[in-house]
Chains A and B, each alone.
Chain A
Amino acid sequence: MTENNPSTGVSRRKFMALAGGAAGFAAMAAMGISARDAACSVNIPEIDPEKVATAESETDVLVVGSGIAGLFAAVKGHDAGARVLMVSKGRLGASGQTPFAKGIFAYDPAREKLSLDEFVDKVSRSAMGTNNPVFTRQMAAHSLARVRELEAWGFFDSPLYFDAFSRPITERGIPVMERIMITHLIKEKGRIAGAAGFSIDEATVHIFKAKSVVLCSGAGGFKPNGFPICDLTHDGTVMAYNIGAKVTGKEWNDGHPGQTTNAAACYDGWHGMFGRKPGRTGVEVHHDLGVEMNYQAYMAGNPLAGGPLGQNRGGQVSGGPYRPEGFDDRGGPGGPPPGGGPKEGGAPPGMGGNPVGGSSAGMAIHKSEGLVPINADGASTIPGLYAAGDALGSYMAGAIYTQIGSSLAGSAVQGGIAAEAAAAYAKGQAAPEIPTRKRLQVQEEILAPLKRERGYGPAWVTQTVQGIMIPNFVLYIKKEPLLTAALAYVEELRDHHMPMLRAADLHELRLAHETANMILNAEMKLRASLMRKESRCSHFRLDYPEMDTKNWNAWINIYKGKDGSMKLEKQAFGSWPL
């Protein structure tokens, strides 16, 4: 593939000295750009990586991400008395999956027939024991309060969430730094000390000194076609893993289909749902978004019209993923959108036209992957580091999608709870110091792809990862030989290509870091899938098609071993990490 940067005629080493500060502004003024308005969004065609500026910020609680988990983390962290700073790769309310989630669950005891206990029990039965009932209950118990706050901010009045999210943030004067990709968490003396990243608009590396960090950075995928998650590449999971945190849930899959016609067109595939106002959902426990359609397509192939055989299409193939009693297939493809049902009307996703698999490839069921929590506050195994929403492996819904609209609700609830805990933690902490040596090392790692004279384009490496991982017979219908083979490919990319990712500009620098994160996520998915020798919920092994409650009533945690290699361990259902 060609490089993204269309600039020609200038050698990459013949740099424009666009450093930050006065020199940078002067250079921009010379180009006719005012540094005061949005003109910083202009691409800087050539960057001298030796002259990239460094900016430093300091805060009590650093919130990474600006979806609904980030929103509530910022608001509740602030209200708990902490200085909060929000930093986002995108824009408040317009990044990650939040802008596309149109249903939010609220458990209203006055309206529901099921008690809270009965609700939690029903989710656990659908999830075949894979959920963490502490988080299932927490989501439901706090959901109505969060929904009422959203209502007061105008969330339900518009299909676009920026204005509603801006209201509580502006009222509180919480600073928000957008279009900055965080690539590193910084740990000093065994505790979190901050984070670092870079601006995609200005040649600036940003260092954040923070007493605590709340990752609200969402989950991710392999930049798949047909699902709006191409800005999500498991950034939080990977940076936490790199400083020693445990992560979980990588064997599960979200089984959303796409459509055969214009498979990459997310908006069209969801039938304009993104342009609709959000709505509320009530108790409705299902067993959705597993890999049954993938199994049908694998066994029987696609009919001439495209799409797998399936419900209501005749020729159902026997066998495949087990569905617990009382949670029947609701018929046809689709299932709920990320975060909620299409309660505001219109066709659900995947219902129009013939479905194809893998639209959300690389992503697990909401909240089943991410940092391993050590308690109900979303604290990670690293002191001072918290996670919430799809960045936290809370198993709120389990390893299958159970309650429609609970994804958005769970992110809102967990964001607030994690930030309140982070604020309380920060009160007892002195201002962290980041040694110069560490800053230089991090800066070097951030800018490395820009400094390479040659190497591999991130778009090409991403395409290669997609080719290895997305096929139905690797990612969804799993068996040992193919998982092992794919792992050999991914290890090659990890060892040889990841260290040679190059970037021609700041847009590509973002792609380079995202690609590296996707490679590590691919390795995690393959290793966890190999380890889990059973089939349950959204994990299906053709060579181990039965559920194994004797050996596998356990989650798989992944962490970096002392030798730098990826280690996996079991954690029994219903327990916290030791």
Chain B
Amino acid sequence: MTIERIDGCIGCGTCVKTCPTDVIRQDPKTGKAVIMYPADCQICHLCRLYCPVDAITISPEKSIPVVVSWG
């Protein structure tokens, strides 16, 4: 996994805007950040660096998708 966890999110939306590859969105009900498109994470840590409450934990590992013959 790329972004592993978001703990203690205050719902400010900064990480959503800051992510260059649009990995994070806000949950429509709770307003909190959710990891929506982890496959597109480039593990750049901008979301974590910008997060005002240091809520984001990121792993250096990225699972490589299985190769299939059409998609």
Which chain B residues border A6 with CB–CB below 8 Å?
36
Query: B62 CB to closest chain A CB, in angstroms?
Result: 4
Chain A hits for B29, CB < 8 A: 32
Q: Is A160 a contact of B49 with CB atoms below 8 Å?
A: yes
Q: CB of A96 within 8 A of chain B?
A: yes
A residues within 8 A CB of B31?
39
Residues on A with C-beta less than 8 A from B44 are 99-100, 228, 266-267, 274
Assess whether A230 is interfacial by the CB under 8 Å rule.
yes
- A456-B20 in contact given A42-B27, A162-B50, A275-B45 (Cβ < 8 Å): no
List residues of A (67-117) whose CB comes within 8 Å of B's CBs: 90-91, 94-96, 99-100
C-alpha spacing A274/B44, complex, angstroms = 8
CB-nearest residue of chain A relative to B71? A460
A230-B20, A463-B67 are contacts. A262–B61 as well, Cβ < 8 Å?
yes
- B49–A230 contact, CB under 8 A? no
**Contacts A1-B68, A460-B71 known; A41 to B60 CB distance under 8 Å?**
no
User: Do B68 and A38 have beta carbons less than 8 Å apart?
Assistant: no
- Enumerate A154-177 residues with CB–CB distance to B below 8 Å: 159-160, 162
Q: Give min CB distance, A169 to chain B, whole Å.
A: 15
Question: Chain B contact residues (Cβ within 8 angstroms of A): what range?
Answer: 35 or more
Q: Are A31 and B60 in contact (CB under 8 A)?
A: no
The CA of A228 and the CA of B19, in the complex, are separated in Å by 11
Interface string of B26-51 (1 = CB under 8 A from A): 11110100001101101111100110
Q: Number of A residues contacting the other chain (C-beta, 8 Å)?
A: 50
Is A456 within 8 A of B70, CB to CB?
Answer: yes
Q: Does the CB pair B71–A457 fall under 8 Å?
A: yes
Query: A264 and B28: CB pair below 8 A?
Result: no
Contact B21 A230 (CB under 8 A): yes
B17 within 8 A of A: yes
Q: Are B62 and A266 in contact (CB under 8 A)?
A: no
Partner of B60, one of A1, A223, A230, A262: A262
User: If A162-B50, A456-B70 touch, does A200 touch B42 (CB 8 Å cutoff)?
Assistant: no
Within 440-491 of A, Cβ neighbours of B (below 8 Å) are at 456-457, 459-461, 463, 467
- Whether A265 pairs with B50 at a CB distance below 8 angstroms is no
Is A37 on the interface with B (CB-CB < 8 A)? yes
A residues lining the B interface (CB < 8 Å): 1, 4, 6, 31-33, 37-39, 41-43, 90-91, 94-96, 99-100, 159-160, 162, 178-179, 200, 223, 225, 228-231, 261-262, 264-268, 274-275, 456-457, 459-461, 463, 467, 507, 510-511
How many residue-residue contacts, CB under 8 A, span A and B? Answer: 124
* List of A residues within 8 angstroms of B42 by Cβ: 223, 228-231, 264, 266
Instruction: Please report B residues at the A interface, Cβ cutoff 8 Å.
Output: 2, 12-13, 16-22, 25-29, 31, 36-37, 39-40, 42-46, 49-50, 58, 60-62, 65-68, 70-71
Could you say which of B13, B43, B70 contacts A266, with CB atoms under 8 Å apart?
B43
Q: Which 9 A-B pairs have the closest CB atoms?
A: A460-B71, A38-B13, A265-B60, A264-B62, A231-B20, A262-B60, A267-B45, A230-B42, A41-B16
Q: How far is the CA of A265 from the CA of B3 in the complex (A)?
A: 11
- Contact between B58 and A94, CB atoms less than 8 A apart: no
A264 to B59, CA, bound (A): 11
A507 to B25: give the CA distance in the assembly, Å. Answer: 10
Question: Which A residues are CB-close (under 8 A) to B12?
Answer: 38
Q: How far is the CA of A185 from the CA of B47 in the complex (A)?
A: 31
Chain A residues within an 8 Å CB radius of B43? 262, 264-268
> With the chains together, A149 CA to B17 CA distance in Å?
26
Q: Which residue of A lies closest to B16 (CB)?
A: A41
B71 to chain A, nearest CB (A): 3
Inter-subunit contact A95/B20 (CB<8 Å):
yes
Name 22 A/B residue pairs within 8 A (Cβ), A-sorted.
A1-B65, A4-B36, A4-B39, A6-B36, A31-B28, A37-B13, A39-B26, A41-B13, A41-B16, A94-B20, A99-B44, A160-B50, A200-B22, A262-B61, A265-B62, A266-B42, A274-B44, A274-B45, A459-B65, A461-B71, A463-B67, A463-B71
- Contact assessment for B68 and A459 in the assembled complex, using a CB-CB cutoff below 8 Å: no
Q: Which chain A residue has the least Cβ–Cβ distance from B15?
A: A41
A274 near B46: Cβ-Cβ < 8 Å: yes
Give Cα distance in the complex from A307 to B29, angstroms. Answer: 47
Q: Which residues of A contact B36 (CB under 8 A)?
A: 4, 6, 43, 507
Shortest distance between the CB of B56 and any CB in chain A (Å): 12
Closest to A200 in B: B22
Query: A44's closest neighbor in chain B, by CB?
Result: B28
**Which residues of the partner chain A approach B18 to less than 8 Å between Cβ atoms?**
91, 94, 162
List residues of chain A with CB within 8 A of the CB of B61. Answer: 262, 265
Which partner residue on chain B sits nearest A506 by CB separation? B22
Complex: A554 Cα to B16 Cα, angstroms = 44
| A504 to B18 CA separation, bound complex (whole angstroms) | 23
In the assembled complex, the Cα of A266 lies from the Cα of B44 at a distance in Å of 5
User: A4-B37, A43-B36 in contact; A231/B21 too (CB < 8 A)?
Assistant: yes
Contact of B45 with A41 in the complex, beta carbons under 8 Å: no
The one of B2, B25, B58, B67 that contacts A42, using a Cβ cutoff of 8 Å: B25
Q: Which residue of B lies closest to A268 (CB)?
A: B60
Within the complex, the shortest CB–CB distance from B2 to chain A, in Å, comes to 8
Q: Which residue of A lies closest to B58 (CB)?
A: A267
Most buried by A among B12, B37, B42, B58: B42
A39 to B25, CA, bound (A): 9
A266 to B62, CA, bound (A): 11
When distances are taken between beta carbons in the complex, the residues of chain A under 8 Å from B2 are: 264
Task: Check if B62 sits within 8 Å of A225, measured CB to CB.
Answer: yes
- The minimal Cβ–Cβ distance linking A10 to chain B, given in whole angstroms, is 15
A42 to B60, CA, bound (A): 26
